[in-house]
Amino acid sequence: MPKAKVTTNAIDSYISMLRDLGENVDDIAGEAVYEGAGIIADAVRKNINTIRTNGKDPWETKRRELQKDGLRNGLTTFEITNVGGRTEGGVGFAGYNKRGQANRKVANAFNSGTSFSSKQPFFERALRASRPQARKRVAEYVEQEFEKIVKG
């Protein structure tokens, strides 16, 4: 088998660059996912305003307004984690509203509907509408960070 021995400084610089990329991959991936989650969270925040709150009586309308306020206040980006070599994060609801109801359950009730309330898929619509923008932003962020490392 023929062998070739290459002795040039260009290879050393590429190897150094690959090492730098490898050391920072987890940090860059986490920051990129956070950027994408922010775009999705903004879309969900905007769609919360589309939830209908008119009820049969003033008490029900007020209850739904309190629930809607709880969703606005409870919207959060979940912790970004690395699970099995895959960087994951999310957008959802945390905490409780002023009536003591879990925001996560209220969001599910509005989004999926109940036996006495119509379906208002505000979360699903926001996710579908913002997912392409979020993916694009994640890719742009990763490319920007890699370019910074390559340029050194």
How confident is the model over 41-80, as pLDDT tens digits?
999 999 999 999 887 889 989 999 999 999 999 999 888 8
Q: Phi, psi (5° rounding) for residue 117? A: -140, 135
Per-residue pLDDT of the chain (152 residues; tens, 9 = 90+): 444 344 445 556 656 666 666 777 778 888 888 999 999 999 999 999 999 988 788 998 999 999 999 999 999 988 888 887 788 888 999 999 999 999 999 999 999 888 878 888 999 999 999 999 999 998 898 888 888 877 76
Whole-number CA gyration radius for the chain: 23
Residues 49, 51: Cα–Cα separation, whole Å: 6
Strands 75-77, 91-93: pairing is: antiparallel
Phi-psi region of 92 (alpha: psi -120 to 50; beta: other; left: phi over 0): beta
Flag whether the pTM goes above 0.95. no
Kindly compute the dihedral angle of the four CA atoms of residues 22, 32, 75, 43, in this order, to the nearest 10 degrees.
Answer: -160
Contact 104, 57 (CB under 8 A): no
Please report how the helices 103-112 and 58-74 are oriented relative to each other, as an axis angle in degrees rounded to 10. 120
Is residue 67 within 8 Å of 52, Cβ to Cβ? no
State residue 26's pLDDT score.
78
User: Within 10 Å of residue 40's Cβ, how many Cβ atoms?
Assistant: 22
